[in-house]
């Protein structure tokens, strides 16, 4: 079996043991129980997954921890996957959950702005909060000159390239490589916060824009589309089981659902979780 396939299967098994659950009526916890279509798609995803349904716990054993566990399991999957792609994008990457962006090189100036706003409540009311705490953040460590010069003596003094954050002699701050929001379900306007986070990351940076992505377990395509359609705020939405969702939609023979999924996939707005590690090394 191909390594990426193994990692994806392991990801699903970890979700089954920590996030995904089924209640006593057979309704998965990523489905909207008030929507027959949502329930059917969520059940179809489980039936198409290469996991044993008897291993899926009841909803009571998961409770309110699903969201946090979804972040942790997704972060673990990405860290393992990217670890095998070191030859494609050299660097040392560190993974965090809930780390403030002002601790990264492109956004360190926001700490000063936040301090100023905290000392002026009237100004804070007008300007709002600039600090974003994404669910998963990936930081890249600046490189030592010896690492840059591994194949050729590219840098040999401080007269040039003394401002770039890639050199550790210039800064010790991690470079924000990616911001990833995790939405096990998409149920309310709060889910749109991921777009707001994306806008803040783009507008408030001093340096390059990090990857901005959303990972979801939502089975209902219309709700996925509420985040996926359009461009500019995020790179793409990634589904934890897109192949299985498409299989479930085909079995239901629901043409509008299939059309919407095709629109998002062909429009480069929706991809599978297996695409994300490779997209992150672009």
* Predicted pLDDT of residue 115: 73
Q: CA–CA distance from 208 to each of 68, 76, 136 (Å)?
A: 28, 25, 18
Q: CA–CA distance from 76 to each of 14, 82, 140, 171, 195 (Å)?
A: 10, 10, 16, 27, 24
Tell how strand 136-140 and strand 175-183 pair up.
antiparallel
Q: What is the DSSP letter of 22?
A: B
> Across the chain, where does the E strand assignment appear?
93-97, 136-140, 175-183, 211-216, 236-239, 270-272
Both structure tokens of 280: 């992150």
* 8 A C-beta contact, residue 78 and residue 7: no
3-class SS at 280?
Answer: helix
Whether domain 66-150+160-280 has CATH 3.40.50.10010: the reply is yes
* Predicted pLDDT of residue 1: 66
> Cα–Cα distance between 27 and 10 in angstroms, integer?
23
* Predicted pLDDT of residue 194: 86
Burial 228-244 (b: 16+ CB within 10 A, else e): beeeebbbbbbbbbbeb
Mean pLDDT by 10 residues, the chain (282 residues): 92 93 91 96 94 66 76 98 93 94 92 74 61 90 94 87 94 97 85 85 94 97 94 93 97 96 97 98 94
* 8 A C-beta contact, residue 72 and residue 62: no
236 beta partners: 213
> Cα–Cα distance between 213 and 73 in angstroms, integer?
16
> Cα–Cα distance between 59 and 39 in angstroms, integer?
14
* Predicted pLDDT of residue 234: 95
Q: Packing angle between helix 255-266 and helix 242-252, nearest 10 degrees?
A: 150
Between the two ends of the chain, the Cα-to-Cα distance in Å is 25
3-class SS at 35?
Answer: coil
Burial 185-217 (b: 16+ CB within 10 A, else e): bbeeeebeebbebbebbeebbeeeebbbbbbbb
Q: What is the DSSP letter of 54?
A: G
* Predicted pLDDT of residue 129: 60
pTM value is 0.93
């Amino acid at each position: 079996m191909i390594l990426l396939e193994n990692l994806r299967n392991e990801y699903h098994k970890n979700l089954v043991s920590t996030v995904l659950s089924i209640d006593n009526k057979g309704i998965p916890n990523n489905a909207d129980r008030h929507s027959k279509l949502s329930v059917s798609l969520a059940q179809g995803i489980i039936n198409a997954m290469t996991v044993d349904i008897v291993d899926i716990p009841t909803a009571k054993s998961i409770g309110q921890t699903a969201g946090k566990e979804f972040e942790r399991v997704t972060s673990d999957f990405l860290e393992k996957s990217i670890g095998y792609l070191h030859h494609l994008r050299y660097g040392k990457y560190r993974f965090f959950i809930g780390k403030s962006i002002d601790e990264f090189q492109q956004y360190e100036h926001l700490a000063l702005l936040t301090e100023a706003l905290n000392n002026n409540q009237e100004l804070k009311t007008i300007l709002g909060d600039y600090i974003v705490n994404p669910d998963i953040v990936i930081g890249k460590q600046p490189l030592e000159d010896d690492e840059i010069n591994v194949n050729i003596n590219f840098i040999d003094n401080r007269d040039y390239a003394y401002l770039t954050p890639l050199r550790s002699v210039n800064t010790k701050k991690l470079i924000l490589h990616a911001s990833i929001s995790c939405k096990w379900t998409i149920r309310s306007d709060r889910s749109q916060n991921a777009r707001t986070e994306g806008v803040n990351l783009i507008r408030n940076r001093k340096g390059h824009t990090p990857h901005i992505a959303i990972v979801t377990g939502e089975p209902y395509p219309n709700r996925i589309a509420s985040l996926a359609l359009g461009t500019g705020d995020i790179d793409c939405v990634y589904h934890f089981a897109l192949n299985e969702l498409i299989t479930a939609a085909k079995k239901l023979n629901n043409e509008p659902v299939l059309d919407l999924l095709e629109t998002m996939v062909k429009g480069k707005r929706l991809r599978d979780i297996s695409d994300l590690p490779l997209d992150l090394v672009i």
